[in-house]
Structure 1
Amino acid sequence: MSDIKDLRREYKQGGLRSKDLPENPLKLFELWLEQAQNAGLMDPTAMVVATVDERGMPFQRTVLLKKFDEQGFVFFTNTGSRKASHIKQNNKVSLLFPWTDLDRQVAICGIAKPLPTADVMRYFASRPKDSQIGAWVSEQSSRISARGVLEAKFLEMKNKFSKGEVPLPTFWGGYVIEPESIEFWQGGDRRLHDRFIFDKDDNGHWQNERLAP
């Protein structure tokens, strides 16, 4: 195995200063997301969702952000999945956007709440048909013997829904993460990175502070 302890690089793509921070962190998130898209990053909406099980063991996985606004950050999933099971027991979660090609990260802590069925149906109807069928195929996080099981089930469901619209599965839904804190990390030279955290106070207003790197 190769020696990895000396693998490093300098972060010189820019800084982040307090004078440039908006009052609302969602404005900065929107700008950074747009810049990630314009930079041609692979999957700029990919975010790591961290949850905790009943034993206190943390789990992480990558999902795609599908919407964000003042209410929070939205993603969709099988409601029988491991992440959904964790959220049902403990709805405190964290999100991480690892935009490392831009020397940036955004970390969000908040409360996960189920989306209304109407919102889930609206998004599900916008998906490609094969993706809709795929949602019916997988009992997410369950153990299976081989990929062939999925392939056979997909063909079965594709035949079943060959005519007409694919209905919304009863076990498929979405969550909005209502943010309580949002941290922005911008890499800096000599490891003097810029970090700012926005915390929401009891009145729903955002306050920000600089953090040591």
Structure 2
Amino acid sequence: LNDALDEGKVVLMEGGQATYLDVDHGTYPFVTSSNPTAGGASVGSGIGPTRITRSIGIVKAYTTRVGAGPFPTELFDEWGEYLQKTGGEFGVNTGRPRRCGWYDAVMARYAARINGFTDYFLTKLDVLTGIEDIPVCVAYDVDGVRHDEMPMTQTEFHHAKPIFEHFPGWTEDITGARTLDDLPENARNYVLALERMSGTRFSAVGVGPGRDQVIQIHDLID
């Protein structure tokens, strides 16, 4: 791998699992046994951290989780079922249904910080089409105290209740959009609002399941 870098080649590494399953920085004890955060890429590959030039986070336009663990924005109503069904939220290997909830900007900021993300790729924006009012978690209420960032202790996070900001939805088909300007105004405003809240720039937006159904904002490979 280091020889390839010396030759000027592009080396792409993909982390399994997800940030909140990280054994050190995740929602302990509901974690995996390793470090699927960006720091783990250096440990696992033998590539020194100073040689990694880009760190790209993948985040959905809403939030999902598989298995147990804290999930402040989790939905237990028809909207949770709607996101699960419309988004095809079932584990690839296990077939287990994923828990679904609204976008959590606090979690996105924390993930951006500990991974050092240079870019976010926002996926599944099309799943939200047709929802009249879209809540976004902008902070937590923990026992009456507002937290704009991730609480310091797991106990506090387990007690966190979401504080929502609401955004108007859209009904137009967005699967053919290839630029931000192609999106309906409300969809574009939603994306830009999430970007402002999430700790790093959005460089691409997925608007459908196809490989070509992507709005490319910034190049993802130098």
Question: Shorter chain as normaliser: what TM range?
Answer: under 0.3
**When you count strand as a share of all residues, which structure comes out higher?**
1
Say which structure, 1 or 2, has more relative contact order (CA 8 Å, 6+ apart).
Answer: 1
State TM-score, norm by structure 2: 0.24
State TM-score, norm by structure 1: 0.25
